Structure 1
Amino acid sequence: MDTEGHVQVGRTEPTVQADLAECKLVSFPVGIYKVLRNVTDQIHLITLANNELKALTSKFMTTFCQLRELRLEGNFLHRLPNEVSTLQHLKAIDLSRNQFHDFPEQLTTLPALENINLEENEIVDVPVEKLAAMPALPLINLRFNPLNAEVRVIAPPLIKFDMLMSPEGARAPPP
């Protein structure tokens, strides 16, 4: 939405994107489903960064199942709906600066996922074996999470991708 409350739907070849960043949203606006109903399968990027979202609904995931990128950084999310598994084309998800305590394991079922950003959450444990089995994943960012020592030791030899981690006890710089 722009400053006057209009939804911006930009068409850049070959994707259509919806940018609803920094709108103080506490939930995904129901009216947007109606506005975008004829183009939902063409929307490949949705940005909901820096809002006040506490959750996303299963309807959001199943409606926008053609997404390639989902930017949700800077919200109050602590879990994802199980229907995130319908995002079979998703290549990148940014969940940084949210409130995840548990790694959202549904992401490990997404075959096209190449980039997971979970920087600055409260994640302690990571499903290393499930991540290691992901076919397309070259990068996961877990910087500034209080990862347990076991993850730090077990992960490096098991995984074939880059797992970015901060030194133990490191704190994120203030915003």
Structure 2
Amino acid sequence: MLRKMGEAVARVARKVNETVESDSDTLDLAECKLVSFPIGICKVLWNVTDQIHLITLANNELKSLTSKFMTIFFQLQKLCLEGNFLYHLPNEVSALQHFKAIHLSRNQFHDFPEQLTPLPALETIILEENKIVDVPMEKLATMPALCSINLHFNPLNAEVRVITLPLIKFDMLMSPEGTWAPPT
């Protein structure tokens, strides 16, 4: 157990060092068995946080993100969080003025993360394979840059399904009614 934990820590440290040394705009911590974002990483990345535009935390074991995470990576444009155990986002995500895309598939969202709706540059929201029933269409309709929302494999209610398509200016992808469970 300790050996595996040590290997995971070493892997994270190696990936963080690669980001710093290569002057990359991407931090890839996918599949690192993280249960939370290690805030200690922020100290290492402190001088380069403003140049990080893409963070991948896919396929970990995250249950939440801290508000500090959102405020440290203030230049973030894309965040990949698919394959975790997230059920909400911190309110501070609404301060990410350059944010263009978020990937939240295969998480535990029961409610649509409305903290995303004030974001002026957000173009893509991917929420496949969650447990979302209702979507705040009025708020989404006011998002200036929104192009696409993927809600495949969510148990969406009938009201969401009958929204008049001319009222929305973005693509809304949904599974056919009655098929909200993903294929096995």
TM-score range, shorter chain: over 0.9
- The alpha carbon displacement at 1:14 in A equals 9.6
- The alpha carbon displacement at 1:86 in A equals 1.3
The yes-or-no answer on 1:37 pairing with 2:46 is yes
Q: In 1, are the aligned partners of 2:108 and 2:130 still within 8 Å (CA)? A: yes
Deviant stretches of 4+, over 6 Å: none
Q: Distance in 2 between matches of 1:77 and 1:85?
A: 17
- Structure with higher strand content: 1
Q: Distance in 1 between matches of 2:35 and 2:23?
A: 30
* Aligned partner (choices 130, 133, 148) of residue 157 of structure 2: 148
* Aligned partner (choices 21, 27, 31) of residue 30 of structure 2: 21
Partner of 1:165: 174
Q: What SS does the corresponding residue of 1:25 show, helix, strand or coil?
A: coil
The yes-or-no answer on 1:7 pairing with 2:15 is yes
| TM-score (norm. length: structure 2) | 0.88
Q: Distance in 2 between matches of 1:30 and 1:15?
A: 19
Q: In 2, are the aligned partners of 1:15 and 1:44 still within 8 Å (CA)? A: no
Q: What SS does the corresponding residue of 2:160 show, helix, strand or coil?
A: helix
Q: In 2, are the aligned partners of 1:55 and 1:80 still within 8 Å (CA)? A: yes
Note the residue ranges of structure 2 that are not aligned, 5 or more in a row.
1-6
Classify 1:14/1:151 alpha carbon distance in 2 versus 1 (closer, same or farther; 3 Å): farther
Number of matched pairs: 172
- Structure with higher helix content: 2
RMSD: 1.8
Note the residue ranges of structure 1 that are not aligned, 5 or more in a row.
none
The yes-or-no answer on 1:136 pairing with 2:141 is no
Q: In 1, are the aligned partners of 2:39 and 2:69 still within 8 Å (CA)? A: no
Q: What SS does the corresponding residue of 2:149 show, helix, strand or coil?
A: strand
Q: What SS does the corresponding residue of 1:93 show, helix, strand or coil?
A: strand
Instruction: Give the number of the structure whose alpha-carbon radius of gyration is greater.
Output: 2
Identity across aligned pairs (percent)?
A: 74
